[in-house]
A and B are shown apart, each in its own frame.
Chain A
Amino acid sequence: MPVIEILGLEKTYATGLFRKQRKHALHAFTLEVYEGEVFGFLGPNGAGKTTTIKLLMGLVFPSAGSARILGLSIGDPRVHAYLGFLPEQPYFYDHLTARELLEYYAQLSGMEAKGRARRICEVLQRVGLDGSAETALRKFSKGMLQRVGLAQAILHNPRVLFLDEPMSGLDPLGRRELRLLIEELKAEGKTVFFSTHLLADAEALCDRVAVLHAGRLRGVGAVCDLIGDAGRVELVWRGRNPVAMRPLLLETHISGELVRGVVPEAAQEEAMKILRCASLPLVSLTPVRTSLEEYYLRQTQSEAPPQEVRA
């Protein structure tokens, strides 16, 4: 069962002094996210990632289309009981301490009074803030606020998490902890939908990703497919670069003694033969895999019509 169903969701902002100009922040698109998935939402600045998440949270209203979360329409207040949300650059009531803030949110989420205090301690520990529980949020650093944001998102044990750039502002250790946290959440069977600019994190964490560019969905797919075989092999040999080799090479790089060349998979045998004939010693042969970065760049830089990949 899809946990998040986006059906032709579209958002146009009225801008300008008299709200006459229209700004297409998001063109109609359709997307499904399944139970237990970690889903990465990628795209350059201004692509519409935050807009999508705000639409799903009911903070702004769609210009057209609809969306369902856990089978409930996004306008339905009941759905919020099952959601956790970390906004972009979160900001909280800064006169409260971290513990007071979480207490307030726990009450708003309708959590039982009984387990509340314990759950708050647990969550604070999980985001590494147990030492600053009694400090006013006014005195928190950016990364600490980000951690508070994470704490409040997971506080009420929600089934679906929406994290808008959860890594931003975190130190390297914090990022690692967050990766672990997301993996734990996945292990608990939660669905995590997060936007990010950090492709390495997306590659490491996500089951599937979507790439958004200028308000259009450019591609969706399972990470293992997207970063699969590129149909090329990389050969490294010692010596010179024979003339016969040149038409086959897609890329060459010579450093000192070593020559590195990439050839299409189909030309692998021929290339090896050429090297043997020229008695140049082969050092290594590896199939090239596309990184998520390459896929991302292809989707966001090409002017080609968006490519739909179904997983």
Chain B
Amino acid sequence: MAKLSYHYPLSIRIWHGINALCILLLIATGISMYYVDPNRTLIEFSWAVKIHNITGVILSFSYLIFFISNITTGNRKYYKMPLKGIGERLLKQSQYYAFGMFKGEKKPYPITEQRKFNPLQKLFYVIIMYIGVPLVIISGWGLLLPESVIGAFMGVSGILITDVLHVAMGFFISLFLVIHIYVSTIGHTRSANFKSIVNGYGWIEESENAK
């Protein structure tokens, strides 16, 4: 049986809110800068630069807090991803999204007290939070302080590599965001997950069903 349980503590919700706001601003200003055109702009260039820089710095701090507290608090356990059998688990979850859920099959990895994320979700969160976001932050600081970037790497300007990395990762995060928001609509109800990341209460399965 499903029941409502408090599984997004306030700290995570606040972090997530700041994080989401920052990323949205960064994407909007980032696109404005990448596709600048004197005739049509989303956000005027010099404003875009200012907002992007400030938001980037805020995001860095917010990420730092996420990173540290994910080491020091219990939230860490939800992100652990044993490699053994991972392929099988991912396949199972993908099959559920592609076919199973339409046939009315049971969730292969329902959310419980011990398991906040299903395997696919977990993989995405780990990649985004431990590869995507760090890379975008590091390369962003490189562009903010260009003198810190290595001059050239194998004949290609260091700043260029940094730039390409930053744009590619920014784009990757935007893609994640689209998928992330879409997949969040697949919950107890379409809006349930959004409510839970705001008020903290989410629908979970009774523990005995776990595993």
- Genuine A/B complex: no
Residues of A within 8 A of B (CB): none
